[in-house]
Amino acid sequence: MAVLDIRQRSGYLFLGVILGHILLISAQVNSRAGVPVLETVTFGIFSEVQRTLSGGVSGIRHTWGNYVGLRNVKAENEELKRQLAALQVSMQEQRALADRARGFQQLLELRDHLALATTAAEIIGAAASPDFRTLTIDKGVRDGLRPDMAVIAPEGVVGRLVRPSARAAKVQLLIDRNAAAGVLIERTRAQGVVVGSGEDRLQMQYVSEASDLAIGDTVVTSGIDAIYPKGLVVGRVELVEKNGPAFKRIVVKPAVDFSRLEEVLVVLTPSPAKESASGVSE
Amino acid sequence: MIVALVVAIALQTTLARFFARGAIAIDLVLVTVVYVALTSGPTTGLLTGTFAGLVQDALSSSVIGIGGLAKTIVGFLAGVIGTQFIVSQSVPRFVVFFGATIVNAVVFMGLYVLLDLRHFDAPYAAVGWQAGANALVGVLAFQVAELLPGAVERRRASRHRIRR
């Protein structure tokens, strides 16, 4: 009966005998490394089993770790968000400090460049009414400031002091509708006066019909108004309209962006025109 | 089966030099294994092949198991062919013996080369001639075995007639 079973299952018997032969051969033959093939194959098989088991265990540990980690991830996420918000605020503060330092550096460079005595001031406020284009700075009479002192920035003329108090002062911007300054065209030396319009542009008036004027010309202070020292940049000619030989309208774009001002320099040295005027009156 | 194998091994080990002609080397043990497999089926065939191959390996001082493995495969395949196909004519038998020799050589030499134990330089002609010779001997063995019982009967019958 057993023989009959074996005969019916010749395939299994065949595989068993083949396996037996392979084991027999492997036990006698050495691999190139000098180790018996049987040992090499056995070690190889068991190492693969170990690798598989190790991979499985590692996978389970990884999965479990992720699951446990997920349980705390929400609180951690909230904490990280808080830290991120604090860092963003801190970064903005640092950036503001850096910008401020850069502004001071530009002011210092301008101060070194000018042969004028100046003092730096920080803008601490703007005009209370939109009809007036003024700023408030943190220096006043105690710091030697007087009315009609010129206020400048690295880009150009800002305006003049109109009402200094003990520790602060009001600055009338050049674009205020009551402001004016004597100017000349840097290229042709044509003279005129810029007046504020209450908007973001200046009007240049009293320009001779014979003057050579072109869009893009740089406009600088002439110094004849006894407020602004000569040669400070006011802006550039943006528009020229003529009515026959006469200039109908000349628009000047200010060099200073008044909306971005943070620090300014107040010129303490009186202009030569003012000094001579003072001398005459005395 | 065992008797046939022992005889074949004895003949192979004692008279092999008489069968060898140049590159032709008849493998009587292989012929016997295929014969037994064709007549008895795959199980008997693979067991016969295993036994014969292991004995040959043991006697030839080679790696024990390589010849056994080759002849086990040959015996099993021949047995399967014998049970699945009609192999009662000379030509099919020739083909089976021929193919069995090829399979045996491929497995035997392949394992030796695979294990880097021996090298065989282009053995195609030798194997081909051996396969043809084995096939011829196998077909002849079948013819003899099939004619032998009838001849004995005829001889007995003629002896009876002479006595009467």
Q: Which two tokens stand for residue A17?
A: 């005998």
Please check whether residue B73 touches A, CB under 8 A: yes
Beta carbons of A223 and A182 less than 8 angstroms apart: yes
**What is the assigned CATH class of domain B2-163?**
mainly alpha
Give the closest residue to A260 by CA, choosing from A137, A123, A138. A123
pLDDT at B23 over 50: no
Beta carbons of A118 and A218 less than 8 angstroms apart: no
User: How confident is the model over A157-175, as pLDDT tens digits?
Assistant: 999 998 888 888 989 999 9
Residues whose CB is less than 8 angstroms from the CB of residue A166 and which lie 6 or more positions away in sequence, other chains included: A140, A141, A142
Domain spans, chain B = 2-163
> How many angstroms separate the CA atoms of A237 and A184, rounded?
11
Please check whether residue B131 touches A, CB under 8 A: no
Residues whose CB is less than 8 angstroms from the CB of residue A227 and which lie 6 or more positions away in sequence, other chains included: A148, A149, A150, A160, A181, A271, A274
Please check whether residue A10 touches B, CB under 8 A: yes
Domains of chain A: 119-173 (2.40.10.340), 180-271 (2.40.10.350)
> How many angstroms separate the CA atoms of B162 and B100, rounded?
47
Chain B residues close to A13, C-beta within 8 Å = 43, 46-47
Give the closest residue to A149 by CA, choosing from A185, A188, A126, A119. A119
What residue in A sits closest to B57 (Cα-Cα)?
A25
Q: Report pLDDT for B146.
A: 85
Q: Report pLDDT for B19.
A: 56
Please check whether residue B143 touches A, CB under 8 A: no
Beta carbons of B71 and B30 less than 8 angstroms apart: yes
Beta carbons of B32 and B11 less than 8 angstroms apart: no
Chain A residues close to B62, C-beta within 8 Å = none
User: How confident is the model over B87-111, as pLDDT tens digits?
Assistant: 889 999 999 999 999 999 999 999 8
Chain mean position to CA B8: 9
Q: Which residue in A7, A14, A29 is closest to B76 by CB distance? A: A14
Give the closest residue to B111 by CA, choosing from B119, B101, B123, B102. B119
Q: Report pLDDT for A275.
A: 59
In terms of DSSP bridges, do strands A246-254 and A191-196 run parallel, antiparallel, or are they unpaired? unpaired
The pTM assigned to this predicted structure is: 0.45
Shortest distance, CA B61 to any CA of chain A (angstroms): 12
> How many angstroms separate the CA atoms of A216 and A220, rounded?
13
Contact B63 A28 (CB under 8 A): yes
Shortest distance, CA A20 to any CA of chain B (angstroms): 9
Task: Tell me the average pLDDT across B124-132.
Answer: 89
Chain B residues close to A18, C-beta within 8 Å = 69, 72-73
Beta carbons of A150 and A270 less than 8 angstroms apart: no
Contact A29 B117 (CB under 8 A): yes
Beta carbons of B118 and B156 less than 8 angstroms apart: no
Residue B150 CB neighbours (<10 A): 9
User: How confident is the model over A8-28, as pLDDT tens digits?
Assistant: 678 888 999 998 988 888 888
> How many angstroms separate the CA atoms of A254 and A202, rounded?
7
ipTM for the predicted complex comes to 0.77
For A217, how many CA atoms within 13 A lie in the half-sphere containing its CB? 22
Place of tokens 């009587």: B28
Show which of residues 88-127 on chain B sit within 8 Å of chain A, judged by CB atoms. 111, 115-117
> How many angstroms separate the CA atoms of A94 and A97, rounded?
5
Residue A243 gets the label, from left (phi > 0), alpha (psi -120 to 50) or beta, of beta
Contact B63 A6 (CB under 8 A): no
pLDDT grade, residue A130 (50/70/90)? low
